[in-house]
Structure 1
Amino acid sequence: MRRLVPALVAALSLAFLFSLPATAAHAASAPCKPGSGAKLRGKDLTGATLPYSMRCADLTGAKLDAVDLTGKDLTGAVLRKASLKEADLGQAHLDYADLRGADLSEADLGQTRAKQANLRGANLADVDAVQAEFPHADLTGAVLTRAVLTQADLTDATLVDADLKDATLGQIKGRTADFTRAKLGEAKLGQAHLEHAVLRDADLSEAEFTQAELDGADFHGANVDKASFIQADDADLTGARGTPTGLPDDAVAPGATAEEDTAADETTAPAQDVPGKVVRPKGPSPALILVIVSGLGLSLTLILWGVAHRRKERFVAEMAVARHAAEEDVTRFGEEIDALDFEMKINQVSGPTYEWRAALDAYEAAKQALHVAQTPYDLQGAAVAVARGRQALHAVRSRLPGAGNR
């Protein structure tokens, strides 16, 4: 009977899995090669109306002060040492973008997406980045003084040596983020999620950690003088320096160690009564046996039902994923056409008419193939049209003046 119970659990789990709708993971498409898009290095684009897609554009040293980039797709774009002072980047896509040394002071970054973006040494002083997303981004040495990052996502971000003095970081997601040697004096971190974050040797003087989640956070060498930890959870300031305020009763104060607190608890804990006789559990009751047998019957029924419907559900799921990927590819191809058209206009050049028309025709053919596709096999027509169109675009680009120097 003891072996029967684990078998029942396994059978029920298997039946539950079979009864769930089939799903397929959607893999994010890799960004294009940085700098392979529109060539706008050093251009003064203040006052210009930019296209929606600027994916992987080369904007090194470009001037974009106060430019409206709301919702623009700058995925993989190169913006090294670009000037984006007071630019509006609300809801813009900056995933994988290279912004090393860029000046974004006083820019609007509300709800901007910048996953794995490189912002080493960037100037983000006084930015408004409410609900911005910087997971896995590199902000080493970045200046974020007085920045407003309320509810921003800094999960696993690198902020080594970053300057966040007087920044507002309330309710941020900062799990496993690295704030080593960061300057966080007078920063507001109320209700911040900093589980397993690294704050070694950071300046946290007069910072506010009210109701912050600090489980596993590393404060070794950090200056916590006058920092407030009111109602902070799991605060362990082992190895920290200074005198904090508002430490909860269960917190570990600077200078103490978690091992010492545990030893003290064990010393003061009352002795537990040792039972004099071990009571052996009784065997399974008939009612339990009936429940187990009924459960096995139900499990078999669910398995048979799940197998019967799984094939249809898998087809629907695979078709949905394939259609979504094809639609994204066709949309990206249309954006590439717009970007090249914009590049030719801003540089006052024209491309070969035949190849340009071929690219436009291929785009229309791809959209038509998407419209009539009923199976993943039908979607291949869209992929073929896009591939043919990209060849035409490549021919247009290669025949533009100065193409050999790119």
Structure 2
Amino acid sequence: MRRFAPRFLAAPFLALAFLSLVFLSLVFLSLVFLALPATPGHAASTPCKPGSGVDLRGRDLTGAALPPVMRCADLTGAKLDGVDLTGKDLTGAVLRKASLKEADLGQVHLDYADLRGADLSDADLGQLQAKQANLRGAILTDADAVQAEFPHSDLTGAVLTRAVLTQADLTDARLVDADLKDATLGQIKGRKADFTRAKLDEAKLGQAHLEHATLKDADLSEAEFTQAELDGADFHGANVDKASFIQADDVDLTGARGTPVNLPDDAVAPGGAAGDEPAADRTTTTTWERDVPGNAVRPKGLSPALILVIVSGLGLSLTLILWGVAHRRKERFVAEMAVARHAAEEDVTRFGEEIDALDFEMKINQISGPTHEWRAALDAYEAAKQALNVAQTPYDLRAAATAVARGRYALHEVRSRLSATGGHR
């Protein structure tokens, strides 16, 4: 029986290798499926013809009372510096070369809007919604666009120097030749975004999702990509001199220029690629053939059992590595959720304080506001708290933001009516 021992030893190795490879295949397919770029559905059509709404072209609206309905309004060249547009619906509006310096556009709807050449310097764009908007050549210097949404929008040639775009949605957005020098783009959603020739020197891109993004010929010198997701990102021709990639995933700088720093061990450095070592010259005489007599017995290769052991070890090692990657991504998701929840809770708390302040003001002055709008604000506050309680992902927290926006609009209506009528004693 002893002579059959090698066969029995090989069997568990073969089974272990087979199971490891099957498990790795399943894990790999799962990760590939999760990493596939999201395919946007058919874009909703514009609700009305752009510019077909109220005509306010060239008007100075800094002190004017704005109409309640501004969908598809024509605001070409209008002056809106410092104007509070919070929660306004400007879907399909035309704001070409309009001046919106230091304006408050928090939670404003600008889907399909035309903002070519508009000046939004120092504007508050928090939670702005600008799906498929045209911002070619727009100026957003020092703008605060935290959690703003620009999916499928065109920001070609836009100036976003020092802009804050933390957690902004730039999915499939076009930022060709855009100036993002020293901009803050932490935790942005930039899957399939096009940053060709963009200026991103000294930009902060920590935990940015840039899967399959295009960064060809972009200036990324001294940019920070800490813990960024870069699977499939194209860096050909990009300047990555002194760019930092601490704990970044799937870094492949093939075709890039410059000398980056803090590259992960599995990263592909500029000019390098996996398996690019020159193959040995097959015609060269080996040491064995040169020094050993021709009748000598050449040593045999590795035994099948040893090969199976090696394959099994590699399979298990890869399994542990993939488990570690999944665990790290889970921890990152928990951290991102904590940040998003904290921001949402603060927003809901501020909204509750706004309600209390207005309620106190009405009680002190012994006046009452319009019942319908007041009730709508209170209901929106309760809805926002309920949304916070059940939210499991950052996407779920949008329900709370929507409720707060609806409630603030109702409070705005209450204040407007009280200002117009002086209240009811």
Aligning the two structures, in what range does the TM-score lie when normalised by the shorter sequence?
0.5 to 0.7
C-alpha change, 1:129 and 1:199, in structure 2 (3 Å) is: same
What is the CA–CA distance in structure 2 between the aligned matches of 1:109 and 1:180, rounded to whole Å? 24
Q: Does 1:128 align with 2:144?
A: yes
TM-aligned CA deviation for residue 48 of structure 1:
1.9
Q: State the match for 1:49 in structure 2.
A: 65
Q: State the match for 1:258 in structure 2.
A: 274
TM-aligned CA deviation for residue 262 of structure 1:
12
What is the CA–CA distance in structure 2 between the aligned matches of 1:237 and 1:273, rounded to whole Å? 38
C-alpha change, 1:26 and 1:167, in structure 2 (3 Å) is: closer
Q: State the match for 1:304 in structure 2.
A: none
Amino acid at match of 1:32: C
The counterpart of 1:40, out of the listed 40, 53, 56, is 56
Q: Does 1:163 align with 2:163?
A: no
What is the CA–CA distance in structure 2 between the aligned matches of 1:261 and 1:228, rounded to whole Å? 26
CA contact (8 A) 2:142 2:161 kept: yes
Q: Does 1:182 align with 2:198?
A: yes
What is the CA–CA distance in structure 1 between the aligned matches of 2:172 and 2:191, rounded to whole Å? 6
Amino acid at match of 1:205: S
What is the CA–CA distance in structure 1 between the aligned matches of 2:302 and 2:100, rounded to whole Å? 66
Q: State the match for 1:249 in structure 2.
A: 265
What is the CA–CA distance in structure 1 between the aligned matches of 2:144 and 2:97, rounded to whole Å? 20
Amino acid at match of 1:105: S
Amino acid at match of 1:83: S
TM-aligned CA deviation for residue 257 of structure 1:
1.6
Q: State the match for 1:63 in structure 2.
A: 79
Q: State the match for 1:280 in structure 2.
A: none
Q: State the match for 1:210 in structure 2.
A: 226
TM-aligned CA deviation for residue 272 of structure 1:
8.5
The counterpart of 2:213, out of the listed 197, 201, 225, is 197
What is the CA–CA distance in structure 2 between the aligned matches of 1:178 and 1:26, rounded to whole Å? 20
Q: State the match for 2:304 in structure 1.
A: 273
What is the CA–CA distance in structure 2 between the aligned matches of 1:258 and 1:216, rounded to whole Å? 15
TM-aligned CA deviation for residue 49 of structure 1:
2.5
TM-aligned CA deviation for residue 258 of structure 1:
3.3
Percentage identity across paired residues of the two chains: 85
TM-aligned CA deviation for residue 101 of structure 1:
0.3
Amino acid at match of 1:114: A
* 1:335-387 superposed Cα distances (whole Å, 9 cap, x missing partner): xxxxxxxxxxxxxxxxxxxxxxxxxxxxxxxxxxxxxxxxxxxxxxxxxxxxx
What is the CA–CA distance in structure 2 between the aligned matches of 1:261 and 1:79, rounded to whole Å? 55
Q: Does 1:76 align with 2:121?
A: no
C-alpha change, 1:81 and 1:185, in structure 2 (3 Å) is: same
Q: Does 1:137 align with 2:153?
A: yes
What is the CA–CA distance in structure 2 between the aligned matches of 1:176 and 1:127, rounded to whole Å? 23
What is the CA–CA distance in structure 2 between the aligned matches of 1:101 and 1:120, rounded to whole Å? 6
Q: Please, which runs of 5 or more residues in structure 2 have no aligned partner? A: 1-40, 281-300, 308-425
Aligned residues: 248
CA contact (8 A) 2:105 2:128 kept: yes
SS at match of 2:276: helix
Q: State the match for 1:399 in structure 2.
A: none
Q: State the match for 1:96 in structure 2.
A: 112
What is the CA–CA distance in structure 2 between the aligned matches of 1:60 and 1:90, rounded to whole Å? 21
TM-aligned CA deviation for residue 30 of structure 1:
3.2
CA contact (8 A) 2:46 2:112 kept: no
Amino acid at match of 1:273: P
SS at match of 2:224: coil
TM-score, structure 1 as length reference: 0.58
* 1:212-238 superposed Cα distances (whole Å, 9 cap, x missing partner): 000000000000000000000000000
TM-aligned CA deviation for residue 41 of structure 1:
0.5
What is the CA–CA distance in structure 2 between the aligned matches of 1:184 and 1:30, rounded to whole Å? 32
TM-aligned CA deviation for residue 27 of structure 1:
8.3
TM-score, structure 2 as length reference: 0.56
**Which one scores higher on RCO, CA 8 angstroms, separation ≥ 6?**
1
TM-aligned CA deviation for residue 31 of structure 1:
2.1
TM-aligned CA deviation for residue 50 of structure 1:
1.6
What is the CA–CA distance in structure 2 between the aligned matches of 1:139 and 1:274, rounded to whole Å? 59
TM-aligned CA deviation for residue 112 of structure 1:
0.1
SS at match of 1:258: coil
C-alpha change, 1:116 and 1:29, in structure 2 (3 Å) is: closer
What is the CA–CA distance in structure 1 between the aligned matches of 2:65 and 2:303, rounded to whole Å? 75
SS at match of 1:260: coil
Q: State the match for 1:234 in structure 2.
A: 250
Amino acid at match of 2:134: N
Moved over 4 A (4+): 25-29, 261-264
What is the CA–CA distance in structure 2 between the aligned matches of 1:272 and 1:103, rounded to whole Å? 72
Q: CA RMSD in A?
A: 2.5
Q: State the match for 1:315 in structure 2.
A: none
What is the CA–CA distance in structure 2 between the aligned matches of 1:210 and 1:142, rounded to whole Å? 25
C-alpha change, 1:263 and 1:213, in structure 2 (3 Å) is: farther
What is the CA–CA distance in structure 2 between the aligned matches of 1:54 and 1:253, rounded to whole Å? 51
